[in-house]
Structure 1
Amino acid sequence: MSSTPDTVPHTNARLGLAGVVAAASQLIRAAAQPDLVQLVLRVALAVPFWRSGILKWQGFLQLNETAVDLFSQEFMLHLPGGPYPFPAPAVVAFLAGCGEIVLPALLVLGLATRFAGLGLLVMTAVVQLTVPDGWPIHITWAAMALAVMRHGQGRLSLDHLATRVAGLPLRPS
């Protein structure tokens, strides 16, 4: 095998770079384990909804006046021919407040995970209809909800624990 002195260092440098890239890729894969990714995804989706939900309550099952006023006077549904006011704003505010507390809690716990993801996807659609200019953040929420719905809860969840305790066969999440 004959090579000129000019090509040997270039080949070694290329192999060295490939080795560094391969090692970095392996570290990234090791850090981004699917169960950890699913947990972080669930928490990341839960946080903005939880924070919004907490602001709507002043006591157990008692909405504050601001929440009802927002749905009565400020928030509108931006549909064709609209915008239109929310129907039954007190009921919608109550349901939104409940959803913003219950669904994120379920996500963080990993309980009824896919259903919680679906619920937050529906809420995201309603938020988008209410605040159409917020689409850059809403599309990230929708993407996270869809990923949760598709990939499930992972092993770091109560869903996984309940499946194991019940002796049910584990399905790929």
Structure 2
Amino acid sequence: MADMQDAGYAGRHALSTLVERVNALVRTIAFPSLTQLALRLALAVPFWRSGINKWDGFLDLNEVAVLLFAQEFKLQLPGGPYGFPAPGIVAFLVGSAEILLPLLLVVGLATRLAALGLLAMTIVIQVTVPSGWPLHLTWAAMALAIMAWGPGKASADHLLARFAR
């Protein structure tokens, strides 16, 4: 009986050692700063792409962007759908945010605030296009992770914090 218990212990110990080695390998590949950088880039890309499509040049918002907010996009709220108020202004603000906030994320400057802004935009997008919830949930999760754990060491925020000490 003791031999079976020893064999069971040895088997559990070997399995535990194997699991720990695999976990150590995974930690080597997915270290926090790389993960935080990847999250910042992954969240920035879809918003940047959307923002670029709204502009014809510097501060020259294209007509399609305004048309979308004036006629196509509707807030799917109870009693609605409702149109966006002041669609020209909303299109300009959204187009500007879709350029500025991703740039801040990529550089890692005011990162948590930029992620908060993109989370707020994601919520409005969800209310506007409810069927896109799987993608919107992914964006929200990335924004929340950035807000919770910060930009990581590969960021302007990290450099500024080091110089401020």
Question: If the length of structure 1 is used for normalisation, what is the TM-score?
Answer: 0.87
Deviation at 1:161, TM superposition (A): 0.7
Residue number in structure 2 paired with 1:95? 93
Residue number in structure 2 paired with 1:22? 20
| Root mean square deviation, CA, Å | 2.0
Residue number in structure 1 paired with 2:109? 111
Residue number in structure 1 paired with 2:76? 78
Residue number in structure 1 paired with 2:162? 164
Whole-Å separation in 2 of the counterparts to 1:49 and 1:135 = 16
Structural mapping, 1:40-55, within 5 Å: 40-55=38-53
Deviation at 1:20, TM superposition (A): 2.4
Whole-Å separation in 2 of the counterparts to 1:3 and 1:152 = 51
Query: 143-152 or 10-19, which moves further after superposition?
Result: 10-19
Whole-Å separation in 1 of the counterparts to 2:111 and 2:2 = 61
Unaligned runs of 5+ in 2: none
Deviation at 1:13, TM superposition (A): 5.3
3-state SS of 2:56 partner: strand
Residue number in structure 2 paired with 1:3? 3
Identity %: 60
Residue number in structure 2 paired with 1:171? none
Residue number in structure 1 paired with 2:148? 150
Q: Return closer, same or farther for 1:11/1:93 CA change in 2, 3 Å cut-off.
A: same
Q: In the TM superposition, what whole-angstrom CA distance separates every residue of 1:80-101 from its partner, at most 9, and x where no partner exists?
A: 1000111111111111100101
Deviation at 1:60, TM superposition (A): 0.4
3-state SS of 2:65 partner: helix
Query: 135-144 or 102-111, which moves further after superposition?
Result: 135-144
Give every structure 1 segment of 4 or more consecutive aligned residues whose post-TM-superposition deviation is greater than 4 Å. 10-15
Q: How many residue pairs align between the two structures?
A: 165
Q: What is the letter of the counterpart of residue 53 of structure 1?
A: G
Residue number in structure 2 paired with 1:126? 124
